[in-house]
């Protein structure tokens, strides 16, 4: 999942970015309100953590402008202000959650997870769909045969994004946008490699939808109906797997 961190305290940013990346988020940073608003309007973020006291444009105005332009991604507001009316102003502007400084990073991560789960009507607990259960703390997946598999960073990001978008068909370009941050080196065939690996560890036992894309230039060739994934990947085509809700 791709996260926008809009915060001008560079010491806090260094800590939060490291911890959020370790939790499986691709993190982009904006240290002023103008850049934060611009990046947020790129529509590539799954959640934003927004400080109200940003220079150049304050967080309330950034949030109002996001919402005014139809940008409805989840936003957690950070602020050192503790007056109740300021918290109310944040919610009126369109905040989904509020966290006062100082705070513990574990609480922030828990709030982010809760927001993402609520967005797909799976509040609390573990993500599960199609016979798969994802442990977001341990970054592992349990398949329907009861076996647990530890995931690498990219594997975890991909599978969490699939589970949070169950039933949808996702293009390679959309997946790339949501698992990499701005500065990351984007491996051209990483999605194909991991889709193949998941078939080997047991994803073939889950009901899936698949979309076949030509490696160039991301054009859809065909969309299948639901079936059990047993296909082999070829040099010309790759399979992007989307876990079904059923």
- Of 81, 98, 119, which one is at a domain's C-terminal end? 119
Our CA dihedral for 108, 113, 116, 117, rounded to 10 degrees, sits at -140
Segment 204-246, tens digit of pLDDT: 444 334 433 333 333 333 333 333 333 333 333 334 444 444 3
Residues 148 and 192 in one domain: yes
**Per-residue pLDDT, 185:** 63
How confident is the model over 55-81, as a mean pLDDT?
A: 94
Residues 7 and 105 in one domain: yes
Domain count, the chain: 2
Residues 151 and 84 in one domain: no
Residues 108 and 13 in one domain: yes
Segment 149-190, tens digit of pLDDT: 888 888 888 888 888 877 777 777 788 788 777 766 666 566
67, two tokens = 């919402």
Residues 16 and 41 in one domain: yes
The contacts found for 188-191 with CB under 8 angstroms, 24 or more apart, are 189/215, 189/238, 190/154, 191/158, 191/238, 191/240
Residues 113 and 150 in one domain: no
pLDDT at 200 over 70: no
Residues 114 and 150 in one domain: no
Residue 189's domain is classified under what CATH number?
Answer: 1.10.10.10
Q: What is the pTM of this model?
A: 0.76
Residues 153 and 83 in one domain: no
pLDDT at 130 over 80: no
Whether the link from the prior residue into 154 is cis, omega within 30° of 0, is no
Residues 22 and 110 in one domain: yes
Task: Judge residue 41's burial from the number of C-beta atoms within 10 Å of its C-beta, 0-12 exposed, 13-18 middle, 19 or more buried.
Answer: middle
Distance CA 9, CA 162 (A): 33
For tokens 């609480």, the residue is: 107
- Of 87, 119, 151, which one is at a domain's C-terminal end? 119
- Range from 59-73, 83-97, 205-219 carrying the lowest mean pLDDT: 205-219
pLDDT at 63 over 90: yes
pLDDT at 142 over 70: yes
- Of 71, 88, 119, which one is at a domain's C-terminal end? 119
pLDDT band at 37 (very low <50, low <70, confident <90, very high): very high
Contact 145, 219 (CB under 8 A): no
Residues 229 and 183 in one domain: yes
Q: Looking at the DSSP assignment, which residues form a beta bridge with residue 135?
A: 140
pLDDT at 201 over 60: no
**Per-residue pLDDT, 204:** 46
Residues 149 and 56 in one domain: no
Q: Which domain holds residue 31?
A: 2-119
Residues 137 and 238 in one domain: yes
Mean pLDDT estimate for the chain: 77
Residue 34's domain is classified under what CATH number?
Answer: 3.40.50.2300
pLDDT at 67 over 70: yes
Q: What percent of the chain has pLDDT over 90?
A: 41
């Amino acid at each position: 999942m791709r996260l926008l961190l809009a915060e001008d305290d560079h010491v806090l940013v260094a800590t939060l970015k490291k911890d959020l990346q370790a939790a499986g988020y691709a993190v982009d940073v904006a240290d002023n309100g103008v850049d934060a608003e611009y990046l947020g309007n790129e529509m590539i973020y799954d959640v934003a953590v927004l400080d109200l006291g940003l220079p150049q444009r304050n967080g309330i105005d950034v949030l109002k402008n996001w919402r005014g332009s139809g940008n409805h991604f989840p936003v957690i507001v950070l602020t050192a202000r503790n007056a109740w009316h300021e918290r109310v102003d944040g919610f009126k502007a369109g905040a989904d959650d509020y966290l006062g400084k100082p705070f513990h990073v574990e609480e922030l991560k828990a709030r982010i997870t809760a927001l993402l789960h609520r967005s797909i009507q799976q509040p609390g607990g573990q993500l599960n769909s199609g016979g798969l259960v994802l442990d977001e703390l341990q970054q592992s997946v349990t398949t329907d045969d009861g076996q647990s598999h530890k995931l690498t960073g990219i594997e975890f990001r991909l599978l969490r994004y699939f589970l949070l978008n169950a039933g949808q068909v996702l293009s390679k370009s959309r997946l790339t946008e949501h698992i990499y941050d701005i500065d990351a080196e984007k491996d051209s065939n990483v999605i194909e490699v991991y889709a193949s690996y998941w078939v080997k560890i047991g994803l073939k036992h889950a009901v899936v939808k698949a979309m076949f894309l030509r490696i160039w230039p991301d054009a859809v060739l065909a969309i299948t109906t639901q079936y059990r994934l047993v296909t082999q990947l070829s040099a010309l085509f790759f399979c992007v797997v989307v876990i079904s809700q059923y």
